[in-house]
């Protein structure tokens, strides 16, 4: 007879009091029913569930019921367990619709591919008794890239001179990491500024969350490249300048072609708002604009244009 949670807690005390021990879960199919105090048994180890994880964006907390923060009872290490959750949705790029969906097995492949590469989150995959994919992820102690930038107290011109060169250098390394995935035929699938974490202590910038993928016939890696462009826009602008936060004087400077192809309200031609920015850097952003006739097809193309901009920034 398998042990109860109470017996497991007696055998492997977690280091704190569990007020309401739950049940031992060996089939994670119904992840909504797995809650704090339950123990997930998979891969020969036992993971005490602390809480559901949540994404925090735009001031809104979005619970992720299939992602559990846990303590491994055998070694007391904090882990994130991602359980099987399938969803799909369309994304619009210009007049094209791209099908996006979750693939737990794709995330498992990437975890295997990037083992030991600290530009990425680390983890491994086990199966529960029902054969469900369970990804066991190491915790990253750090802060999201968007929060790092938001915390910088400087006017935009000072930010560009004093902070953007260092941020851009780190960003180039993050782009190179995505290039590694593409070289192996894999996509990140959900490239956003909150999916790069700045790790405390080491200073590493690390990608997280690889379970989204997409079907983009025009370019198999196209959505990743647009995601990299969106992050670059955020870094250069110290935030996103959009139709909603422009002054009337700023709006008058812009043409329809100055906005993003992917997000039509975002300003890509930011040099019209910040004329001290290097033209070459703005030209990189304009590859993502409505008016562009040429879009990046590979990470190497983006990097070839962006690397020289590092030498221009301190002079702006």
11-20 tens-digit pLDDT: 999 989 898 9
Claim to verify: residue 35 and residue 164 sit in the same structural domain? no
Structure tokens at 297: 């097809």
Same-domain pairing of 250 and 157: yes
Establish if 276 belongs to a structural domain: yes
Give the domain-ending residue among 52, 83, 114. Answer: 83
Q: Is residue 40 part of a domain?
A: yes
Say if 130 falls within a structural domain: no
| 155 plus 235 within the same structural domain | yes
- Final residue belonging to a domain, choices 83, 109, 130: 83
User: Is 31 part of a structural domain of the chain?
Assistant: yes
At 101 the pLDDT is 87
On whether both 164 and 280 belong to a single domain, the answer is yes
Residues 151 and 285 in one domain: yes
| The pLDDT of residue 285 | 98
Would residue 224 count as lying in a domain? yes
Query: How far is Cα 33 from Cα 30, in angstroms, rounded to an integer?
Result: 6
Q: List the chain pLDDT tens, one digit each, 316 residues.
A: 779 999 999 999 998 989 899 999 999 999 999 999 999 999 999 999 999 998 776 566 678 999 999 999 999 999 999 999 998 888 777 677 778 889 999 999 999 999 999 999 999 999 999 999 999 999 999 999 999 999 999 999 999 999 999 999 999 999 999 999 999 999 999 999 999 999 999 999 999 999 988 887 778 898 999 999 999 999 999 999 998 999 999 999 999 999 999 888 999 999 999 999 999 999 999 999 999 988 999 999 999 999 999 999 876 6
Please check whether residues 163 and 246 belong to one and the same domain.
yes
pLDDT of residue 57: 64
The range of the structural domain enclosing residue 248 comes to: 142-315
pTM for the predicted model, two decimal places: 0.93
- Domain co-membership, 186 together with 257: yes
Q: What is the pLDDT of residue 216?
A: 77
Same domain, 302 and 214: yes
Looking at the fold, whether 47 and 176 belong to one and the same domain comes out as no
pLDDT on residue 91: 77
**Rounded CA gap, 20 and 23, in Å?**
10
For residue 96, the model assigns a pLDDT of 72
Question: Does residue 129 sit within a domain?
Answer: no
Within this chain, do residues 20 and 146 fall inside the same structural domain, yes or no?
A: no
**Same domain, yes or no: 154 and 273:** yes
Residue 115 falls inside a structural domain: no
Q: Indicate whether 148 and 62 sit together in one domain.
A: no
Does residue 134 belong to any structural domain of this protein? no
Give how many domains the chain has, as a whole number: 2
Confidence at residue 58, expressed as pLDDT on a 0 to 100 scale: 55
Long-range contacts of residues 281-286, Cβ cutoff 8 Å, at least 24 apart: 281/236, 281/306, 281/309, 281/312, 281/313, 284/232, 284/309, 285/229, 285/232, 285/233, 285/236
Q: What is the pLDDT of residues 81-109, one digit of tens each?
A: 999 999 888 877 767 777 888 999 999 99
Look at residues 41, 66, 83 and tell me which one is the last residue of a structural domain: 83
CATH number at residue 146: 1.10.510.10
**Any idea of the CA torsion for 208, 203, 306, 259, to the nearest 10 degrees?**
60
């Amino acid at each position: 007879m398998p042990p109860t949670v109470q017996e497991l807690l007696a055998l492997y005390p977690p280091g704190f009091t569990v007020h309401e021990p739950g049940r031992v879960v060996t089939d994670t199919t119904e992840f909504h029913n797995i809650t704090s105090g339950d123990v997930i048994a998979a891969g020969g180890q036992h993971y005490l569930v602390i809480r559901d994880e949540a994404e925090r964006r735009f001031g809104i907390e979005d619970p992720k019921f299939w992602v559990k923060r846990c303590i491994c009872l055998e070694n007391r290490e904090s882990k994130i367990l991602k359980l099987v959750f399938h969803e799909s949705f369309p994304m619009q790029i210009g007049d094209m619709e791209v099908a996006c969906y979750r693939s737990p097995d794709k995330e498992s492949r990437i975890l295997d591919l990037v083992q030991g590469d600290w530009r990425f989150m680390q983890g491994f995959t086990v199966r529960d008794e029902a054969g469900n994919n369970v990804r066991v992820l190491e915790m990253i102690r750090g802060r999201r890239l968007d929060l790092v930038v938001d915390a910088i107290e400087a006017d935009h011109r000072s930010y560009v001179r004093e902070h953007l060169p260092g941020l851009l250098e780190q960003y180039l390394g993050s782009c190179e990491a995505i290039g590694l995935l593409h070289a192996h035929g894999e996509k990140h699938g959900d490239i956003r500024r909150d999916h790069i974490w700045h790790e405390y202590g080491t200073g590493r910038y690390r990608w997280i969350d690889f379970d989204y993928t997409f079907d983009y016939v025009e370019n198999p890696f196209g959505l990743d490249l647009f995601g990299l462009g969106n992050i670059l826009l955020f870094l250069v602008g110290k935030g996103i300048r959009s139709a909603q936060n422009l002054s009337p004087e700023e709006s008058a400077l812009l043409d329809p072609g100055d906005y993003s192809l992917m997000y039509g309200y975002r300003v890509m031609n930011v040099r019209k708002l910040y004329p001290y920015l290097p033209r070459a850097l703005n030209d990189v952003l304009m590859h993502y604009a409505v008016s562009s006739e040429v879009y990046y097809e590979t990470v190497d193309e983006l990097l070839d244009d962006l690397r020289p901009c590092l030498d221009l920034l301190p002079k702006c």
